[in-house]
Amino acid sequence: LAKTTQPISMDSYEGQEVNITCSHNNIATNDYITWYQQFPSQGPRFIIQGYKTKVTNEVASLFIPADRKSSTLSLPRVSLSDTAVYYCLVGETYNFNKFYFGSGTKLNVKP
């Protein structure tokens, strides 16, 4: 079971770029890296997923080094509405028993 380690919390200001790093030293060959965002009393929302190198979509970028033992979620120009908990997951996408959400990172965006 590939567990993940993230900072418990981070503070940022509106307009800044935020980088959240996740460690997953025991990641397996078939594991993908997925990030979710969760607001209070709501279900997690998919942000981005990758396997190696860099992935970018309309809301975030995901950087994965060659050894894949860590990954960094980058949120460009955050706003107050980005205040949420961000979870990093690793696991084979078809075998949900291997999904481990961990404690996540509480991002607090200040005005």
Partner 1 sequence: KAGVTQTPRYLIKTRGQQVTLSCSPISGHRSVSWYQQTPGQGLQFLFEYFSETQRNKGNFPGRFSGRQFSNSRSEMNVSTLELGDSALYLCASSLGVSPLSTDTQYFGPGTRLTVL
How many residues touch partner 1 under the rule CB under 8 A: the total is 23
* Cα gap 94→9, rounded to integer Å: 30
Residue 72 neighbours by CB distance under 10 Å: 16
Residue 21 neighbours by CB distance under 10 Å: 16
Q: How far is the CB of 103 from partner 1 (least distance, A)?
A: 6
* Cα gap 6→93, rounded to integer Å: 20
32 sits near partner 1 (criterion: CB under 8 A): yes
* Cα gap 47→61, rounded to integer Å: 9
Between 83 and 106, name the residue whose CB sits nearer to partner 1.
106
Residues in 36-75 that interact with partner 1 by CB under 8 A: 41-46, 49
Q: How far is the CB of 41 from partner 1 (least distance, A)?
A: 7
Residues in 71-100 that interact with partner 1 by CB under 8 A: 87, 92-97, 99-100
